[in-house]
Amino acid sequence: MSNHDTGHEAGNELVTHAPGALPDKFENPGHPEHHDRLGDNDPKANKKAERQVVVLFAISVLATLGFLVAYFTLPPGETPESMLRSNLALGLGLALSLLGIGLAAVHWAKALMNDHEKSEERHVQRSSDENRAGAVAALKDGAEDSAIGRRGVLQGAMISALALFPLAIIVPIVGNVGGDWNVSKFRHTMWKKGTKLATDPTGRPIKAADVTIGSVFHVIPEDLDEAEHPLDEKAKAVVLLVRLDPADLNEAEDRKGWSYDGIVAYSKICTHVGCPVALYEQQTHHLLCPCHQSTFDVANGARVVFGPAKRPLPQLPITVDDEGYLIAQSDFTEPVGPSYWERLK
Amino acid sequence: MKALAARRQDRRAPIVLLLLALLLTGGLYAVLAPTSADATPVKASTNDIDTGEKLFQANCATCHGPAASGTASGPSLIGVGAAAVDFQVGTGRMPMQMNGPQAQVKPVQFDQEQINQLAAFVASLGAGPAIPTAEQVDPALGDVANGMLIFRTNCAMCHNAVGAGGALSQGKFAPNLWATTPTHLYEAMLTGPQSMPVFNDANITPEEKRDIIAFIDQQGGTSPGGLDLGALGPVSEGLWAWVVGMGLLIGAAVWIGAKSS
Amino acid sequence: MTTTATPTPVEKLAAGTADYLDQRTGIGTFVKTFARKVFPDHWSFLLGEIALFSFITILISGVFLTLFFVPSMNEVHYEGPWAAMNGVEMSEAFASTLRLSFEVRGGLLMRQIHHWAALIFMAAIVTHMMRVFFTGAFRKPREVNWVVGFLLLILGLAAGFSGYSLPDDVLSGNGLRITDGVVRSIPIIGSYTSYFLFGGEFPGTDLIPRLFTVHILLVPGIILALIGLHLFFVVLHKHTQYPGSGRSDKNVVGYPLFPIYVAKAGGYFFTVFGVIALMAATMSINPVWNYGPYDPSPVSAGAQPDWYMLFLEGSLRLMPGFTEFVVLGYTVSLNVLIPAMVVPGILFTLLAAYPFIEAFATGDKREHHVLDRPRNRPFRTAFGVSLLTAFFILVLAGSNDLIATHFHLSINDITWVFRVLIFVGPWFAFWVTKRICLGLQRKDRELVLHGHETGRIVRFANGEYIEVHKPLDAHERWLRVQHDAIRPLEIEPAEDSRGVRRKGYALDRMRQRLSQTFYEDRIEPVTPTELAASHSHGEHDAVGPADEHAPAALTGAVGGGQHLVDPQDETTPDGRNR
């Protein structure tokens, strides 16, 4: 450990040199002088710092005791207020207990411990030539001992064995982890001819007459609860039901029969990455996705008017049954939700 | 408690402002901000449908037409019902004073008696939803858990999971609901003001509406974990983690690294 | 290091224990080597410690949480103190989260500590990485450790995301749904990858248990191993140090590990834990009871991920939709692939590869242990700032709905502004930062050549007025002249003396171009010759009014310097103005 080389005066000398006789670079002037702290020379200040450290440790002790008291006397209880009180008391106790120790230790190090800087040599990472040669020799000797270079078949057999064995781990993982791997399930939802449209989450069937202009219904298939995996089915089957003034509604020729008296039903799953597109603005007939702001125009076949989605929301063909309840004519005619590679295949 | 919550939102504003000010200059703000405000004077007088009509002619007819059948600048009010009037006028949204993306809450221009007179007049023009009774909107009678389920399916996507408000397209927004009275909440669901869709009694039954009111009544108050940071979700949490957390920790690091005097 | 034997019982016991251990482990050698190892002192060297200590905090609070959390997607009906959830059907994961928050004493505190610590962990990693980047601490021999740190960043993202999703609430559930949508957009294998993650169709019943294993075993295990490697490298290489008098690439100047850093770092651990506990005591985080249990139908306004994933959300929001197309009947969703895969791919690849790119452009094979001042490497600093700018714009874009509501702006307009800014902003930031760096270097030269202004005006016999400048002392000067100016690489000509085109010229030419991009614009540090020239011309600066040189002869004599310094450029006496 070397301390403080010289070189302080180098700068001033330069002025007297003739240009040309000077080095290309300045020289490192060496370590600056050490400045004593207040406590290094004043025993009073030193004592004061020590007292501060003691007080900080004492705060920590008291806070831990306080934490324990709060733990036993302040249960979370039944109301938000009592939960808040419990959390606050425990949290402040813990925080002070920790901060007391932390600040005490740091203050101790800063104010009371020896603050003279030390210097240590560095060594390059590279091994010496001798060691490198030794390493190469060691490997060569090992290879020689095993004679792997001369036994080609053995080499091949070993490599094949090592390369193949991970399959015994990977194949079962990959094979099982994807369930049945039947990705064609993306294409179908629970909706089928005659399924009643019901309100989400209460499951009440909806009559066409109940859907007034300007209202929006969040819809699930009435028999959702009977599904084997209701959440999986719900993730595809949720639908928004909206009634527009027929004057506002522009329908494609081939979809004229898909609505009922100005009532249209569109998939609620965004064609971008699948968030529920649920913000219906009654005046503009726009549907907005709160995740990435794709905006769909319900009056015009739910085509995209803004944002990162490309395709319109799939439309669910609907009609009414004898009692006036809204029912599906069929499943969606295209996969709902985000695009995927084989979507159109 | 609700007033407290409303004020808390104000305190947050400077911090979020900081966030934006880093990137958007004031000039940009001026370009994008919707234009604001010229005040319309308001007058008032006495009782019943006739009085309501007088009030209407004085304050509303300019936009909604003398027969309340609507003009280019305001929709027809025939058949909107007393509930719509009580909501729009009772929250200060009407008479509209600002040509913004949507009518906004401001100090109410009429007293409750005048609002009732206006409502009576508009209700007389055509059948529409009535102002709900006190029992219909009493939070104490609602089922909070059911309210939560209905609210999050039908309302949370615009108003945020606990009713803190959220953005719509083109500068419109769904307002914070914590300071809205139960009656106005009910009327808003029933009449679908502005961008908001209508939730008629077949969609959300009167009992379910009351459940929603009971749920909203519990929001915006004490949060078990401490300050609710506006109940805005991970963005405000991240901002606080950086400003408060990293701020304190880097401050401590600077103290540790500094030479003691 | 050595213990002097004294007869107190405590010391006897300590000596006995030490002897016992050393006879079995030889730990004495280890203690002798490491106890007094020197570490340099600087606040910015503690940023990495914030990450380490918040990770330990995460481990401690996480163990607590695992005792009460049930990673299951079985449906149950909640019964408990939270009225808004009473009787509601939910997964066991969500129900147990509510239980550990409301019914386990101290459970809410631990949960909030865990989540705040996770946000701090990621913030500290990013801040630490910024320090390492801007000071050039990634240069040889530390490139490998940069890569280890980079992997820790990625694993931190994985840990955060998997943990964020565990409570099975509506907010994180929609995050998973977005993940599903993004995964499906991958050409050819997208649908199968989705099945791979979810064990079938989204959401399925396998995901939470799987994420749990990933979150509490796989990812933290790898993180721990890599932290070990990261720290091993720090000890092996010895810590870098900031430039200053007495410090060089051959030494390391600082305080000994024991006792100074045992106390400082130990104390800092308690401070980090304490600050996080303070946040958890006072500020609510991820109140899942507000969002409710996951259901694929609801969504809430303000649907965003934690801050470190926000840039992806912003990237998805900015991308226009028209970029999805169909080719040969197969759908290619560039509107998802570009923002969710390509953009982070570019950002992260640039980040991981930067040390190697810079080494290639610099052609420098030496070891570096003295850090760069950011101003002295304008290209690197500007490049880093432009990456950060891009990241920050994406973060803001991911918050565009909150910006819209808080400032009454149109969300569509904001999106358009960010769509432009994401292209313009980073370039602009690059240009501005580089100019600032060069300007600061010029100021350094100015100061070295002409010294501090003293505010003392003197008048020459010939009537000329001049302000007296006080020359820098050797320490102040050293800070401003210690660095090497890196010049663009020179390469051998394309053809040798016989006109034969040589092999490898194309690569060399590319390398030279890259090197020119990095180092074409530069300000070189003052050399002793320049300083001497400046002084011989302008001695009156230092000496006073005796000199009779005309001022006209002073200006422009030395490149980069001017005789009279603008008062507003004045530097503080110690000169460490950044």
* Pair type for strands A326-328 and C330-333: unpaired
* Percentage of residues in chain B having pLDDT higher than 90: 44
Would you place residue A291 in the very low, low, confident or very high pLDDT band (cuts 50, 70, 90)? very high
Q: Tell me which residue range forms the domain holding A173.
A: 151-181
Residue of A nearest to B253 (CA): A106
Between the CA of residue B174 and those of B194, C12, C396, what are the distances in Å?
Answer: 10, 74, 21
Residue of A125, A295, A310 to mutate when probing chain C, most C C-beta within 10 A? A310
- CATH assignment at residue A234: 2.102.10.10
Contact A59, A38 (CB under 8 A): no
pLDDT of B97: 75
Determine, for residues A215 and B203 on separate chains, whether the beta-carbon distance falls below 8 Å: yes
Q: Across-strand partners of A240? A: A218, A266
Give the residue, B144 or B20, on which the prediction is more confident. B144
Q: Across-strand partners of C269? A: none
Q: Tell me which residue range forms the domain holding C146.
A: 44-291+303-372
Give how far C429 is from chain A: nearest CA, Å. 27
Residue of C nearest to B212 (CA): C84
pLDDT of B15: 57
Would you place residue C547 in the very low, low, confident or very high pLDDT band (cuts 50, 70, 90)? very low
Query: A51 and A157: one domain?
Result: no
Once rounded to an integer, what is the mean pLDDT over residues C230-250?
A: 94
Determine, for residues A215 and B200 on separate chains, whether the beta-carbon distance falls below 8 Å: yes
pLDDT of C6: 55
Q: Which helix (H) or strand (E) holds C109?
A: helix C107-134
Query: A283 and A222: one domain?
Result: yes
pLDDT of B259: 85
- CATH assignment at residue C211: 1.20.810.10
Once rounded to an integer, what is the mean pLDDT over residues C233-245?
A: 94
Which of A26, A174, A279 has its CB closest to that of C481? Answer: A26
Residue-range domain boundaries for chain B:
39-129, 132-236
Residue C209 confidence (pLDDT) above 70: yes
Between the CA of residue C499 and those of A32, C176, C323, C492, C502, what are the distances in Å?
Answer: 57, 63, 50, 13, 9
pLDDT of A13: 38
Contact A111, B260 (CB under 8 A): yes
Nearest C-alpha neighbor of B209 from the set B123, B50, B83: B83
Mean pLDDT over the full length of chain C: 89
Longest Cα separation, chain B: 82
pLDDT of B13: 57
Q: Where are the alpha helices (DSSP H) in C135-249?
A: 143-165, 170-184, 190-198, 207-213, 219-237
Query: A177 and A250: one domain?
Result: no
Lowest-pLDDT range, B48-57, B167-176, C248-257?
Answer: B48-57
Sign of the alpha-carbon dihedral angle for C241, C243, C248, C254: negative
In a domain, residue C469? The reply is no
Q: Which helix (H) or strand (E) holds C434?
A: helix C411-450
C-alpha gyration radius of chain A = 39
Total domains present in chain A = 3
Residue of B160, B176, B249, B250 to mutate when probing chain C, most C C-beta within 10 A? B249
Determine, for residues C474 and A177 on separate chains, whether the beta-carbon distance falls below 8 Å: no
Contact C343, C500 (CB under 8 A): no
Q: Which amino acid is at A111?
A: A
From A61, A92, A111, the end of a domain falls on A111
Q: Tell me: the pLDDT tens digits for C157-201?
A: 999 999 999 999 999 999 999 999 999 999 999 999 999 999 999
Mean pLDDT over the full length of chain A: 90
Q: Across-strand partners of A306? A: A295
Q: Where are the alpha helices (DSSP H) in chain A?
A: 10-14, 38-41, 43-73, 80-111, 129-146, 152-164, 167-177, 230-237
In a domain, residue A308? The reply is yes
Once rounded to an integer, what is the mean pLDDT over residues B63-90?
A: 87
Determine, for residues B223 and C284 on separate chains, whether the beta-carbon distance falls below 8 Å: yes
Would you place residue B18 in the very low, low, confident or very high pLDDT band (cuts 50, 70, 90)? low
Q: Tell me: the pLDDT tens digits for C340-378?
A: 999 999 999 999 999 999 999 999 899 999 999 999 999
Mean pLDDT over the full length of chain B: 82
Query: A191 and A321: one domain?
Result: yes
Q: Which 8-state DSSP code applies to residue B131?
A: P
In a domain, residue C532? The reply is no
Once rounded to an integer, what is the mean pLDDT over residues B151-168?
A: 92
* Percentage of residues in chain A having pLDDT higher than 90: 79
Chains contacting chain B through 3 or more C-beta pairs under 8 A: A, C
Residue of B nearest to C127 (CA): B246
- Sheet of A303-306, strands arranged across: A279-281, A286-288, A295-297, A303-306
Determine, for residues B152 and C50 on separate chains, whether the beta-carbon distance falls below 8 Å: no
The 10 Å Cβ neighbour count of residue C452 is 18
| Residue A43 contacts C where some CB pair is shorter than 8 Å | no
Architecture of domain B39-129: Orthogonal Bundle (1.10)
Two structure tokens written together for C433: 């930062």
Q: Which chain B residues have a beta carbon less than 8 Å from that of C264?
A: 256
Q: Give the span between the Cα atoms of C279 and B74, in whole angstroms.
A: 50
Q: Which chain C residues have a beta carbon less than 8 Å from that of A334?
A: none
In a domain, residue A124? The reply is no
- Mind giving me the DSSP string for A35-55? PPPHHHH-HHHHHHHHHHHHH
Contact C278, B252 (CB under 8 A): no
Q: Tell me: the pLDDT tens digits for C109-158?
A: 999 999 999 999 999 999 999 999 999 999 999 999 999 999 999 999 99
Determine, for residues A22 and C332 on separate chains, whether the beta-carbon distance falls below 8 Å: no
Listed as own residue / partner, the contacts of B203-209 with beta carbons closer than 8 Å and 24 or more positions apart are B203/A199, B203/A210, B203/A211, B203/A215, B203/A217, B203/B154, B204/B150, B204/B154, B206/B132, B206/B136, B207/B142, B208/A202, B208/B146, B208/B147, B208/B150, B209/B136, B209/B137, B209/B185
* Percentage of residues in chain C having pLDDT higher than 70: 92
ipTM of the complex, rounded to two decimals: 0.91
Determine, for residues A207 and B149 on separate chains, whether the beta-carbon distance falls below 8 Å: no
* Pair type for strands A118-121 and C251-256: antiparallel
Would you place residue C544 in the very low, low, confident or very high pLDDT band (cuts 50, 70, 90)? very low
Q: Which 8-state DSSP code applies to residue A250?
A: -
Q: Where are the alpha helices (DSSP H) in C214-341?
A: 219-237, 262-282, 288-291, 310-318, 334-337
Nearest C-alpha neighbor of A319 from the set A187, A191, A189: A191
pLDDT of C558: 35
Which of B152, B226, B239 has its CB closest to that of C298? Answer: B152
Residue of C nearest to B152 (CA): C298
Between the CA of residue C231 and those of A56, C142, C157, C236, C343, what are the distances in Å?
Answer: 30, 12, 20, 9, 31
Q: Which chain B residues have a beta carbon less than 8 Å from that of A276?
A: 157
Residue C44 confidence (pLDDT) above 90: yes
pLDDT of C513: 93
pLDDT of C537: 64
Contact A276, C299 (CB under 8 A): yes
Residue of A nearest to C304 (CA): A291
Would you place residue C469 in the very low, low, confident or very high pLDDT band (cuts 50, 70, 90)? confident
pLDDT of B47: 58
Please work out, in degrees rounded to the nearest 5, the angle formed at the alpha carbon of residue B177 by the alpha carbons of B173 and B180.
120
Q: Tell me: the pLDDT tens digits for A165-211?
A: 999 999 999 899 998 899 999 999 999 999 999 999 899 999 999 99
pLDDT of B38: 34
Once rounded to an integer, what is the mean pLDDT over residues C539-567?
A: 38
Two structure tokens written together for C174: 């929609």
Chains contacting chain C through 3 or more C-beta pairs under 8 A: A, B
Total domains present in chain C = 1
Contact A266, A302 (CB under 8 A): yes
In a domain, residue A200? The reply is yes
Which of B198, B208, B224 has its CB closest to that of A84? Answer: B224
Residue A120 confidence (pLDDT) above 60: yes
Residue A19 confidence (pLDDT) above 60: no
Q: Tell me: the pLDDT tens digits for C489-538?
A: 988 888 877 888 888 888 999 999 999 999 999 999 999 999 988 877 65
Q: Which 8-state DSSP code applies to residue A276?
A: B
Residue A3 confidence (pLDDT) above 70: no
Question: How buried is residue A257: exposed, middle or buried, by Cβ count under 10 Å (0-12/13-18/19+)?
Answer: exposed
In a domain, residue A126? The reply is no
Give how far B14 is from chain C: nearest CA, Å. 10
Residues contacting C475, CB < 8 A, separation 6+: A29, A32, C244, C245
- The matching CATH number, chosen from 1.10.760.10, 3.30.365.10, 3.40.50.720, 3.40.50.1820, for B132-236 is 1.10.760.10
Per CATH, B39-129 and B132-236 having the same topology is answered: yes
Q: Which chain C residues have a beta carbon less than 8 Å from that of A4?
A: 246
Q: Give the span between the Cα atoms of C538 and C534, in whole angstroms.
A: 6
